[in-house]
């Protein structure tokens, strides 16, 4: 194996991402062709990215795109098949034990101990990380208050609602005041209210200077929380940019949503013949989003299509570019695949 210094990566034959790791002395996570195979299956494909101090960096990708696999490698629960990464300057292959002292991890499942009370769970983690005895209790109580669980501190974790479990799992990851917080799908499986309140907490951590690496399959979550987003599809980073830039890249292209009065899912080909030079995404049986092209031509073509098909137009909306449009344009995937709900624990 060739030696390297964290500041001078030798990026060889990656070519998957335009953005090479931004190398500043503020980079706290850097990966170099980080790769994971499960047998012959390529789960994570030569990732190159870096995360800066104080930044919230998001991995946005559909189910099975390799988000969890990447986090597991970065936190030492799984070994990369190829490539390297450094966390706070420590090589994950050789110095993970040192790195672990300064990272906090929220796994994709809330796996604290059901039988222990909220407070005892935090105290156990504090002891495990060697937090000084006189700090432990104060820190645990502080976190319980921040996460709104102080009143329930003596109740067993097992009796908590899903949102409370998630919140306590985040609190547990912060008990040793880590420099980097890893969050694997923090809000998956939560109801809207619980998810919003958790996002507020994460956003507060960010404003206090906490470096955060999070994964999500919610576009709005990535948009709201992240300074930069890496879009991950099938183990590959397709694009890394700020939410604003991603949205801007979709600007200038008309995005028009049309709802028809009948099912047109099987007739998308006919529609696309009528409006050439555009990309059409089925949003529903009777609803499409059309990107690109000239709006006037799109209206005309769509109208013609509806007439030929013997159906009507119900709604026509012109859409302001959102992260969804950017996502569609960049990945060629419908954002619907991101909405496939999983049940979280």
Partner 1 sequence: MWQDDLRAVYCIALKDMRTYYLKPPAISWGVIFPVVWILAFYLRNPGNFEDLIPGLIAMTILFSTTAAEAVVINFELKLGSIERLLLAPISIASVLIGKVLGGFIFGLIMTAILTIASSIYLGLHPNALLLTAIAVPSLLVFSSLGAFFSVAVKEVFEAQTLLNLPRFFMIFLCGVVYPISAMPKWLQDLAYILPLTYTVDGLRRSFYLSSTSSMFTDLLVLIVFFIILIVPATRLLEKKFE
Residues in the interface with ligand ATP (CB under 6 A) total 13
Options 38, 242, 268, 317; binder of ligand ATP; rule CB under 6 A: 38
Least distance between ligand ATP and beta carbon 344 (Å) = 10
Does the protein bind partner 1 through residue 78 (CB under 8 A)?
yes
Give the nearest residue (CB) to Mg ion: 68
* Site residues (CB under 6 A) for ligand ATP, limited to 86-125: 108
What is the footprint of partner 1 within residues 116-135 (CB under 8 A)?
Answer: 116, 124-125, 127-130
Does 83 help bind partner 1 (rule: CB under 8 A)? Answer: no
The stretch near ligand ATP (CB under 6 A) out of 67-75, 201-209, 251-259, 319-327 is 67-75
Record the tokens describing residue 104, joined without a space.
Answer: 């906090």
Q: Which does 64 bind (CB under 5 to 8 A by kind): Mg ion, partner 1, ligand ATP, none?
A: ligand ATP
46 binds, among ligand ATP, Mg ion, partner 1, none (CB under 5 to 8 A by kind): none
Contact positions vs partner 1 (CB under 8 A): 75-79, 97-98, 100-101, 103, 105, 107, 109, 111-113, 115-116, 124-125, 127-130
Contact positions vs ligand ATP (CB under 6 A): 38, 41, 43, 61, 63-69, 108, 217
């Amino acid at each position: 194996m060739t030696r390297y210094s964290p500041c001078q990566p030798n990026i060889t034959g990656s070519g998957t991402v335009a953005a090479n790791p931004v190398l500043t002395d503020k980079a706290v996570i850097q990966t170099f062709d980080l790769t994971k195979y499960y047998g012959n299956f390529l789960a994570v494909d030569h990732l190159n990215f870096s995360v800066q101090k104080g930044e919230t960096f998001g991995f946005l990708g559909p189910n099975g795109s390799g988000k969890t696999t990447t986090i597991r490698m970065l936190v030492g629960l799984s070994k990369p098949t190829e490539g390297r990464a450094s966390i706070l300057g420590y090589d994950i292959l050789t110095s993970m034990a040192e790195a672990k002292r300064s990272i906090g991890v929220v796994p994709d499942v809330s796996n604290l101990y059901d039988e222990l009370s909220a407070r005892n769970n935090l105290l156990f983690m504090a002891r495990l990380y060697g937090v000084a005895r006189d700090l432990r209790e104060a820190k645990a109580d502080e976190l319980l208050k921040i996460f709104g669980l102080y009143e329930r501190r003596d109740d067993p974790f097992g009796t908590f609602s899903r949102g409370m479990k998630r919140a306590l799992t985040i609190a547990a990851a912060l008990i040793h005041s880590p420099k980097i917080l890893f969050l694997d799908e923090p809000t998956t499986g939560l109801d809207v209210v619980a998810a919003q309140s958790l996002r507020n907490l994460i956003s507060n951590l960010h404003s206090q200077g906490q470096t955060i690496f999070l994964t999500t399959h919610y576009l709005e979550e990535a948009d709201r929380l992240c300074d930069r987003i890496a879009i991950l599809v099938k183990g590959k980073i397709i694009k890394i940019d700020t939410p604003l830039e991603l949205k801007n890249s979709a600007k200038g292209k008309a995005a028009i949503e049309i709802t028809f009065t009948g099912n047109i899912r099987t007739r998308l080909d006919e529609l696309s013949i009528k409006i050439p030079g555009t990309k059409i995404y089925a949003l529903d049986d009777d609803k499409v989003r059309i990107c690109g092209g000239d709006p006037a031509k799109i209206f005309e073509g769509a109208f013609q299509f509806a007439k030929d098909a013997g159906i009507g137009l119900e709604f026509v909306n012109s859409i302001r570019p959102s992260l969804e449009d950017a996502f569609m344009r960049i990945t060629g995937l419908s954002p619907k695949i991101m909405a496939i709900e999983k049940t979280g624990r």
